[in-house]
Amino acid sequence: MGTTSVGTGPGAADPGLRGRTYAIPFEDVWQGTLRLVREKLRGWSLEFADDREGVVNALVSSPVKWLQGVVEVRVGLDDDAQTRVDATSATPTAFHDFGTNARRLRRFFAGLDREAFREHQRRLPDPAVRR
């Protein structure tokens, strides 16, 4: 068997696979990523996380054994000090993934858009409280 994989990048032809650049602090995006992988994405389990390197690795189960996969998420700062997130999804035992890897990444980024914003909102001071 072979390996099939899909990765994101700013120049990807598919808009859903261009990764993300957030005007949100690294820590908020990082915590949103961890929450998403640990709690929100069905079938995902956290394998490794290193905030210094900005890397999260997850195992992803599937009802079809040969479509089980691994996802690596990379969170860092770009040249403009914006938080940049890219990811790679691979199915190590499949010759063809039938679009599974791309769907995994699109679902991850849709969830991250929500989680990063929620995390950021939690950390903002309450405007109703005057100092």
Residue 47 C-beta-side C-alpha neighbours within 13 Å: 13
Instruction: Report the distance separating Cα 82 and Cα 26, nearest Å.
Output: 8
Beta strands, E only, 23-63: 44-50, 55-60
Per-residue H/E/C for 54-85: CEEEEEECCCCHHHCEEEEEEEEECCCCCEEE
Domain hosting 46: range is: 4-121
Residue 2 has a pLDDT of 54
Decide if 131 is inside a domain. no
Phi, psi of 50 (to 5 degrees): -140, 105
Q: Which two tokens stand for residue 80?
A: 């403009």
Beta strands, E only, 8-52: 20-22, 44-50
Residue 125 has a pLDDT of 65
Decide if 66 is inside a domain. yes
* Total-model pTM: 0.87
For 113-129, how does the pLDDT look when each residue is reduced to its tens digit (9 = 90+)?
Answer: 998 888 778 776 655 55
Residues of the chain with pLDDT under 50: 1
Question: How many structural domains is the chain composed of?
Answer: 1
Decide if 53 is inside a domain. yes
The DSSP output letter for 125 is: P
For residue 79, give Cα distances in angstroms to 20, 59, 103, 120: 14, 30, 28, 21
Q: Domain of 54: which CATH number?
A: 3.30.530.20
Decide if 126 is inside a domain. no
Residue 101's nearest CA partner among 112, 113, 114, 92 is: 92
Partners of 6 in the beta sheet? 89
The position carrying tokens 């770009």 is: 78
Decide if 54 is inside a domain. yes
